[in-house]
Chain A
């Protein structure tokens, strides 16, 4: 009558995943999670459609900051400025002061947050974690970078195009895994069909299939979080941001 006792008692023999939440999320109720990922993808796309301004109005004056000294240069309209210089950064007319402490701390913390996020994604089978949580932590690390530096530097590292492609790629990995199972004469999202190409027994194949799907969810969630932040923080203009 109730499904949850079945899930608790048969998770290990069905999928060999000790974390019951993960096995239900990505295997027993895989459809739910797949369309959940589509929901956040839709939210990210809706945010881009609502806010993004592609028409760029050339401002009267442009400001450049010399990073080592913190001196700000003002370039009048029509003035030329070498764009490729690493010493100068383009800033807005309402700019925030340069702070070495905040930037250095951010630069030091971000890689550790990203490693922790990868651990959370990959270790979702055995401990609390998974694609959604790890993806949000990865996205938070990019947002932290954008907050400590500015939005322009973050967009240089991970452009808008990349975020949109990664959102779609995440869902493609999920849906593609399901379709691959269909190609091996099995039901959609029945990962035990992948045992042939993964070279393991069907039960372990379900565990590996969950991992593949979680990686897809993690990529999609990370890209959507970053894309939402880019658009909300700059109201779609993609300039200096907060």
Chain B
């Protein structure tokens, strides 16, 4: 029991991100309003970004920019991998943030078109209008 508890506590950041992601998923599934669904999608993306960035962390390591590495000084090339945190999640999430912005733009464009068509963003009212046509 203690071991399980220690395991759960040692991964507390992951639990926080799982909770955040569930908040986003709940908003995407349960909310009736389209804008709230988009907000939920963004919260979910943020949770994933935080998860990846957090998984790249190392103890006693600094950010992934080589200290005193001015490019032409090859004496400084002896770099220990344990000195720097994992740069790969940062790269992946850098592009994921841009994709998040792109999906947000397209989602908002769709929402504007839906509003122009049905004068509402509530899902049940839109369904009523579709069936009433």
Contact = CB atoms under 8 A, between A and B. Distances in A.
Contact of A20 (B64, B95, B102, B113): B64
B97 to A, nearest CB: 8
**Range class of the A interface residue count:** 35 or more
Given A20-B66, A50-B109, A132 B77 contact: no
Given A18-B70, A128-B65, A232-B112, A43 B105 contact: yes
A18 B65 CA distance: 5
A44 B112 CA distance: 15
B16 interface: no
A21 B94 contact: yes
B74 interface: yes
Most chain A CB inside 10 Å of its own CB: which residue of B77, B87, B88, B98: B98
A9 B65 contact: no
A46 B106 CA distance: 7
A7 B66 CA distance: 11
Contacts of A76: none
B132 interface: no
Contacts of A71: none
30 contacts: A4-B87, A5-B81, A8-B79, A8-B87, A11-B66, A13-B77, A16-B71, A18-B69, A18-B71, A19-B66, A20-B65, A20-B84, A20-B87, A21-B91, A36-B95, A36-B99, A40-B98, A43-B102, A43-B103, A43-B105, A47-B106, A50-B106, A50-B110, A51-B113, A127-B65, A130-B94, A132-B95, A207-B71, A235-B112, A235-B116
